[in-house]
Amino acid sequence: MIPEHYTSLTPFICVAGAEHALAFYTSVFGAELVERTDNPDGSVAHAELDFGCGRLQLGEPSAQFRTAAPDPGDDTVTYSLGLYCADVDAVLARAEAAGATVREPAQTFVTGGAGLGRGTPPPAGRVVGRQPVAPARTPTRLPHAPSCARDRVGTPTRANAVARPGVSAYRHGPSRCGKRPSAKGRRMGAMSCVFCAIVAGEAPAIRIHEDDGYLAFLDIRPFSRGHTLVVPKRHSRDLTDTPPDTLAGMITLGQRIARAARVSGLHADGNNLVINDGRAAFQTVFHIHLHVVPRRDGDRLSFAKGVVLRRDPDREESGRLLREALARLDEAAHD
Q: What are phi and psi of 21, to 5 degrees?
A: -60, -40
Please check whether residue 14 is in contact with residue 67, taking contact to mean a CB–CB distance below 8 angstroms. yes
CA 270/CA 70 separation, integer angstroms: 38
The question of whether 267 is a catalytic residue gets the answer no
Q: Which position among 46, 287, 289, 291 bears the catalytic label?
A: 289
Phi-psi region of 49 (alpha: psi -120 to 50; beta: other; left: phi over 0): beta
CA 284/CA 281 separation, integer angstroms: 9
Tell me which residues are annotated as active site: 289
